[in-house]
Amino acid sequence: MAYGIMGSTRNSFLSTYQTTRPVKCLYFDGASGALGETGTMDMQMLFLYGNTTGPPDKNSNFYFLWDEYARAQRLCSWLRENKSHVPGQGIEGIVRMSAGFELIWCDFSSPSLRLISRFNVSVPLLGYDRTFSPMPYSQKRDRALVATRQSPQDGLPAPDWDIDWEHEPFVASQQWDWFTGTSATYNPGDLASAREPSIKLLDADLVSLYSPQYGQYLSTLVEHEREHFNLTLQGYWHSDGSQVSRQAAMRQLMRRRASHRVGNMSAQDVDRLRFDLKQMVARIVSADSHDSQSRHAVSWSHTCDMIVNNFAKRLIHLQHLLREVSDPIDVLSETSRRHFAFLREQIHALLMPFFEYPATFETASETPEQQEKRPEKTLASLDRCKRRYLPVIHHIAASTATTESSNSHHSVKQAIEEVMDNICTVLIGIGTSVENTWLHHFNQPKHLPDLKQQQSLRTEYVTWHDQIEELNAWLGWAPHWMQCDRLCAWN
């Protein structure tokens, strides 16, 4: 993918390296390698400079978007200053994600790395002017700034962006290949496709600004969301009764995390962040071995993948299904029975792993309606649902309770429990209501709702739809719901 950005120059070399052993790297989550001003680089800028704009000295000639060499050098220098990087041991690089995954390697003389090949991939220029000439990535002033930068160690200048665009033969196609590679990396239907297979996360050690210890930042974030998204003190969305405003609000809530920025963090929280990162890095460096740490670490990322993969598509499908059955249909017809039977089947598939039904509706001592009134049974189902992904995690977390990384375990475990609590509460509530409705209106072959029950049944449809819609908005899994309903032909 890098060829799509750096390939069309008169001096383009492709170097291939291979690690000689497992190496440790510092990973900045999210699209932290994406050059932009939408917050993707905030965490590393906050870490390096205590702000999101760069060095406080205006005469430093720091150019935010394009000065990647300065950022890389500063990150590697921090590792050296904290005795976390020694060639061949310790933390030797920084991993970031953009369209793909990239690795900032701090010392190419390290015995952990060997050069496999290096050759010139520049191509002969066209002998004529092309009719299409893409715009340069930067203006002359920007190129001048980039050209003055030096790489961290070897003193080589940054790439020359003064390119003869009209005569480069593969300018357009290499950009197409870049987008092709990006779409292969990001497949919303499969979270595993967005992972670099050669990178294994050590989930036992992580620093997250959503952790409770960053109280001032979280308070500011909560206040921001209350103000911008019309939330109550308890965090619930407040409706003004308009269906149009509701739809707009649900879209905003679903994407609200994109607005989370850290530029207004307090000095106390910034100091805490730097301290926590320093402690985390020290623990990783002092670990006996990478393999030992990986073997005993909880795979939080894998657990989160399972939850999202199991629920994301089903919940959005359920939302669309409820919207369809809540549209005006003849609830007195067999069509309504078929619609409701299909709805019941979909909810049953979600409830089945943890919900206990009576033996049969006809002979059981209690009906689903009676079961709903039995709090102990409902709570048992809710507890099974909430802990579906947590039994092993509880065991491992308990064994690490005395370690310095226990705060990381607790924060992620708490987040998973909260997500599952909300999913399970909504699903079990809707599931028991659906079973009661089926029993009262559809369970007998010739039994259909009468006219008096029609409006009540429509109201239930709308209520269930709104509950699922609000759950999906709260989860905010929008990237996993994006898809093209119709795919292009191969050509």
HSE at residue 41, side-chain half, CA atoms within 13 A, is 21
Strands 113-120 and 13-19: antiparallel
Query: What secondary structure, in 3-state letters, does 2-53 show?
Result: CHHHHCCCCCCEEEEEEECCCCEEEECCCCCCCCCCCCCCHHHHHHHHCCCC
3-state secondary structure of 489: coil
Q: What pTM does this model have? A: 0.80
3-state secondary structure of 369: helix
User: What are 98-155's pLDDT values in tens digits?
Assistant: 877 889 999 999 999 999 999 988 888 888 766 655 544 444 434 444 444 444 444 5
Which residue reads 């039995």 in tokens? 374
CA distance 313 to 311: 6
Q: Which two tokens stand for residue 93?
A: 């690089």
The 8-class DSSP code of residue 66 comes to: T
Counting every residue, how long is the chain?
Answer: 491
From the CB of residue 129, how many other CB atoms can be counted at a distance below 10 Å? 9
Per-residue pLDDT of the chain (491 residues; tens, 9 = 90+): 677 777 777 778 889 999 999 999 999 988 888 887 788 888 888 888 888 877 776 566 666 666 788 888 989 998 888 878 777 778 999 999 887 788 999 999 999 999 999 998 888 888 876 665 554 444 443 444 444 444 444 455 555 556 677 788 887 788 788 887 777 766 655 555 567 778 888 877 888 888 888 888 989 888 888 888 888 877 788 877 777 788 888 888 888 888 888 878 888 999 998 899 888 888 888 775 555 555 555 678 888 888 998 899 899 999 988 887 655 455 556 677 788 889 999 999 999 888 887 655 444 455 556 555 556 777 888 888 988 887 555 555 454 444 555 667 788 888 899 999 999 999 999 998 898 888 877 777 766 666 666 677 788 888 999 999 999 999 988 877 777 777 778 77
The 8-class DSSP code of residue 195 comes to: S
Task: Quickly list DSSP for 230-288.
Answer: TB-TTS-B---S-HHHHHHHHHHHHTGGGG---TT--HHHHHHHHHHHHHHHHHHHHSS
